[in-house]
C-alpha cells in the first residue's frame, strides 16, 4: 500500500481524530448489530496503547443535515465502552466550544466520541470551513472507515487537508486484500455479480473483463441478460433500456475469452411475497404473469457451484435472489456454501453480499469480507477512492 499507516506516526500524547464507520443499525434506540464497532476496535485499542488521545467521529443514519434525536451517537459510545471495558466520553456536538473543552481535558489513552457529523449539512458537501473546524482539535487524522472512503465528505477528505493523514488498520486491511486480488489473482478467477441493476455494475464488469475467466450473473441483472438473449421474463425486474448494453457485454465477454454464465433455471413466484406460490422453471419457461425472485434454480446452483469449486480466486458482489425472503434465499446461500467449501481466495464485496454471508453463518469461511459495499464496488471498477487519495503518501 502506498499510503502512510498507523505505524508511520508517533501517537504518544497526540490528539488523534479518527474517522470510523459507526453507522450501525438501530431499533428503538438499541444497536441490533455491532459489527462495525467491533471492526474499529484494533485501531482504537492500538491508539490507546500508544498513548494517543482518541477522538472518534462518524455519521449515523441519514439525518439530512439536521439534529435528529434518533441518530445521536450515545448508544454507540455506550457499546464502545463495554467492548473496550473502559470509560468512553461523548459530547453533543462535533465542532465548537463544548468539543474543544472536552478535548482539552483529555489525558493520554482517553477516548471521546463526537456527535453525528451529518447533523451538519456541511459534512456531505465537504465544506472547507466545517472541515477546518473538525481538524482544529487534533494533531493527526486517522482514516479507518472504508465504508465511506468513496465519498468526498468533510470527515473523510476535507480534514486531511489540515492534518497529517494516515490509514487505520481496517482501511489498510481492506486496501491490501482488495488490491492484491485485483493485481495478483490466481486463476481460474471467477466474479459473481448479482443485485438488481446491471447499470450499477457496468463499470465493474468492464474493468474485470480483462482479469477474470468466468462471470457468473444472478439477481435482477440476470433477468436483463436473459431478456437480451430473447427469452420472455414475465413480470421479473428487467432494465428495458439496458438490453442493448447487455448484448454488448455478452459480445465483449466472448471477444475477451471470458465465459459469461447465465442461469439455466430460476425460481419464479406469482407475487413478491414469501407466501406466494413459487416453482423452479427453465429460463425459456418463465410464465407471463410470474416473476423471477431467485436466479438460483437447482440446475443453476449445480452449474455455478462446480465453477466456484474449481476456482482459485472468487469475488462476489450482490445476492442472486431476494434472500431476505426465505423461499427465495436458496440460490444466494448455495453460492455462499460453494465459496465456503472451495479452496479459492474468496472476497465478499460488502453490502448485501456480506449480509447474506452473515445470515448463512459462513463469515469465518471467507478470506475477506469487505466492510464497504459502495467503496468496494468503486475499487473493483478501478476508480480512485477520494478518502484514500487524501491520505499522506509514503516517502
Q: What is the pLDDT of residues 284-330, one digit of tens each?
A: 999 999 999 999 999 999 999 999 999 999 999 999 999 999 999 99
Cβ-Cβ contacts under 8 Å for 373 (sequence gap 6 or more)? 147, 317, 349, 350, 351, 352, 353, 354
pTM (2 d.p.): 0.92
Q: CA Rg, the chain, in Å?
A: 23
Q: How far apart are CA 167 and CA 169, in angstroms?
A: 7
User: Which is the catalytic residue, given 14, 19, 36, 201?
Assistant: 36
* pLDDT more than 70, % of the chain: 100
Cβ-Cβ contacts under 8 Å for 365 (sequence gap 6 or more)? 339, 340, 346
User: Which is the catalytic residue, given 125, 132, 197, 312?
Assistant: 197
β partners of residue 19: 57, 143
- Per-residue pLDDT tens for 346-356? 999 988 899 89
User: Which is the catalytic residue, given 158, 318, 351, 387?
Assistant: 351
In the predicted structure, residue 200 carries a pLDDT above the cut 90: no
User: What structural domains does the chain harbor?
Assistant: 6-171 (3.40.50.1260), 178-380 (3.40.50.1260)
* Residue 385 CB burial class (10 angstroms; 0-12, 13-18, ≥19): buried
pLDDT at 294: 97
pLDDT at 102: 98
358 is catalytic: no
Please provide the size of the chain in residues: 395
Cα angle at 195 between 387 and 222, to 5 degrees?
Answer: 135
Residue spans of alpha helices (H) in 85-158: 97-104, 121-124, 128-135
Query: In this structure, are residues 175 and 1 in contact, taking their beta carbons and an 8 Å threshold?
Result: yes
36 is catalytic: yes
Q: How far apart are CA 144 and CA 299, in angstroms?
A: 42
361 is catalytic: no
Query: In this structure, are residues 168 and 54 in contact, taking their beta carbons and an 8 Å threshold?
Result: no
* Residue 292 CB burial class (10 angstroms; 0-12, 13-18, ≥19): buried
pLDDT at 198: 87
Cell numbers representing residue 15 in the block: 490528539
Q: What is the pLDDT averaged over residues 199-204?
A: 90
User: Which is the catalytic residue, given 372, 373, 374, 387?
Assistant: 374
195 is catalytic: no
* Residue 34 CB burial class (10 angstroms; 0-12, 13-18, ≥19): middle
- Per-residue pLDDT tens for 112-156? 999 999 999 999 999 999 999 999 999 999 999 999 999 999 999
pLDDT at 1: 66
Amino acid at each position: 500500500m502506498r499510503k502512510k499507516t498507523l505505524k508511520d506516526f508517533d501517537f504518544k500524547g497526540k490528539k488523534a481524530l479518527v474517522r470510523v464507520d459507526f453507522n450501525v443499525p438501530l431499533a428503538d434506540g438499541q444497536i441490533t448489530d455491532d459489527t462495525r464497532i467491533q471492526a474499529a476496535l484494533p485501531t482504537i485499542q492500538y491508539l490507546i496503547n500508544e498513548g494517543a488521545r482518541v477522538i472518534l467521529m462518524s455519521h449515523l443514519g441519514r439525518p439530512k443535515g439536521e439534529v435528529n434525536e434518533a441518530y445521536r451517537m450515545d448508544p454507540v459510545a455506550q457499546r464502545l465502552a463495554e467492548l473496550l471495558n473502559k470509560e468512553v466520553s461523548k459530547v453533543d456536538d462535533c465542532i465548537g466550544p463544548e468539543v474543544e473543552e472536552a478535548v482539552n481535558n483529555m489525558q493520554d489513552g482517553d477516548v471521546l466520541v463526537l456527535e453525528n457529523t451529518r447533523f451538519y449539512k456541511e459534512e456531505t458537501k465537504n465544506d472547507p470551513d466545517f472541515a477546518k473546524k473538525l481538524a482544529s482539535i487534533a494533531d493527526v487524522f486517522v482514516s479507518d472507515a472504508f465504508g465511506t472512503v468513496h465519498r468526498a465528505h468533510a470527515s473523510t477528505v476535507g480534514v486531511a487537508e489540515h492534518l497529517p493523514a494516515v490509514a487505520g488498520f481496517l482501511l489498510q486491511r481492506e486496501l491490501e486484500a482488495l488490491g492484491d486480488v485485483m493485481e495478483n489473482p490466481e486463476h481460474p478467477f471467477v466474479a459473481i455479480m448479482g443485485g438488481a441493476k446491471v447499470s450499477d455494475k457496468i463499470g465493474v464488469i468492464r474493468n474485470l473483463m480483462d482479469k477474470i475467466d468466468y462471470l457468473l450473473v444472478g439477481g435482477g441483472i440476470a433477468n436483463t441478460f436473459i431478456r437480451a438473449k430473447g427469452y420472455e421474463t414475465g413480470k421479473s425486474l428487467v432494465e428495458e433500456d439496458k438490453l442493448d448494453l447487455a448484448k454488448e457485454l455478452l459480445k465483449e465477454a466472448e471477444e475477451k475469452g471470458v465465459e459469461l454464465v447465465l442461469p439455466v433455471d430460476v425460481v419464479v413466484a406469482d407475487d413478491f411475497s414469501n407466501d406466494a406460490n413459487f416453482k423452479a422453471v427453465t429460463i425459456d419457461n418463465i410464465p407471463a404473469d410470474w416473476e423471477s425472485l431467485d436466479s438460483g434454480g437447482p440446475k443453476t446452483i449445480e452449474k455455478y457451484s462446480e465453477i466456484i469449486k474449481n476456482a482459485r480466486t472468487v469475488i462476489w458482489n450482490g445476492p442472486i435472489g431476494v434472500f431476505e425472503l426465505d423461499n427465495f434465499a436458496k440460490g444466494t446461500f448455495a453460492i455462499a456454501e460453494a465459496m465456503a467449501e472451495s479452496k479459492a481466495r474468496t472476497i465478499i464485496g460488502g453490502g448485501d453480499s456480506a449480509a447474506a454471508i452473515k445470515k448463512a453463518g459462513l463469515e469465518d469461511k471467507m478470506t475477506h469480507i469487505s466492510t464497504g459495499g459502495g467503496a468496494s464496488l468503486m475499487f473493483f471498477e478501478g476508480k480512485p477512492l477520494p478518502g484514500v487519495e487524501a491520505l499522506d503518501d509514503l516517502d
